[in-house]
Amino acid sequence: MPAGDRQRTWFPEMVEVLRAEWRAEMSSGDLIVLRDRLDNMLQHIRHARPITLAKALSVTTNMIHAEGRVCQDHDPPGLPQT
* H/E segment holding residue 40: helix 28-48
Taking 50 as the pLDDT cut, the residues of the chain under it are: 1, 68-82
pTM, full prediction? 0.57
CA–CA gap between residue 72 and residue 58 (Å, rounded): 11
| pLDDT tens digits, one per residue of 52-74 | 766 777 777 777 766 544 444 44
